[in-house]
Amino acid sequence: MKAVCLLSGGMDSSTLAYVAKDMGYHIHALHLNYGQRTEKKELQSATAIARSLSAEEFIPLDLGYFKAFGKSSLTDPAIDVDVFDENRPELPNTYVPFRNANLLSIATSFAESRDADAIFIGVQALDYSGYPDCRPAFIQAFQQVMDLGTADGTHIDLLTPFIGLTKTDILRKGLDLGVPYEHTWSCYQNEEKACGVCGSCHFRQKAFAELGLSDPIPYEE
């Protein structure tokens, strides 16, 4: 069995690739640079994780166009990254318009080219920032598009085993599987030390704290 794993190098996607491997899949990892601020660090992390789980393939790809479109603090250095605020009524500015559909379309083209059986993406509908392209209904609709838009006879399962899990559940599972979290990176903002205040740092730190552990990566004081 072959699986295409979207591997950003963050906590969720790294753990998920280990889960897919544990399920018996051969891992074809895809790392997508969409012009995010912390790409250098994410690419290092994804490379280290792909190597540590002996992926069959590790393909990093550059998608320059999100930077050209703008509208997100992750891809436009002129917009400050929103700090985490659970009372914010609207989406944080770290939302990248329709990003996950782009990632899944590329993953599906790759999976169809490789005759892969499944695609794994580490989306979550709990402990996340309310992005529309992470919700279960979006994933179900995308599976429909995959079924209809690939050649007859192609069957690729879009698997999101973390969609109903908290970050703490994910971390617990990853620790069981021996995920080297010191090689993962979640911060939206910086590359040297994680900022500790963006949405991504917030949920990551909360997970380690809930298990009474300290996160092995460095944070700003």
Q: Does 58 bind a copy of itself (CB under 8 A)?
A: no
Task: For a copy of itself, give the closer residue by CB, 63 or 126.
Answer: 63
Residues 86-115 that bind a copy of itself (CB under 8 A): 91, 95-102, 104-106, 108-110, 112-114
5 labeled part of a ligand binding site: no
One-letter amino acid of 59: I
The yes or no reply on residue 77 touching a copy of itself (CB under 8 A) is no
Cβ–Cβ < 8 Å for 9, 46: yes
Nearest Cα to 32, choosing from 11, 6, 52? 6
Q: 192 and 153 in contact (C-beta within 8 Å)?
A: no
Return the closest-CA partner of residue 19 out of 184, 178, 207: 178
Stretch that binds a copy of itself, among 47-55, 139-147, 160-168, 210-218 (CB under 8 A): 139-147
Strand partners of residue 27: 3
Residue 62 binds a copy of itself (CB under 8 A) = yes
Q: Which structure tokens are listed for 216?
A: 């092995």
Residues in contact with a copy of itself by CB under 8 A are 59, 61-66, 68-71, 91, 95-102, 104-106, 108-110, 112-114, 132-133, 135, 137-138, 141-142, 144-146, 148-152
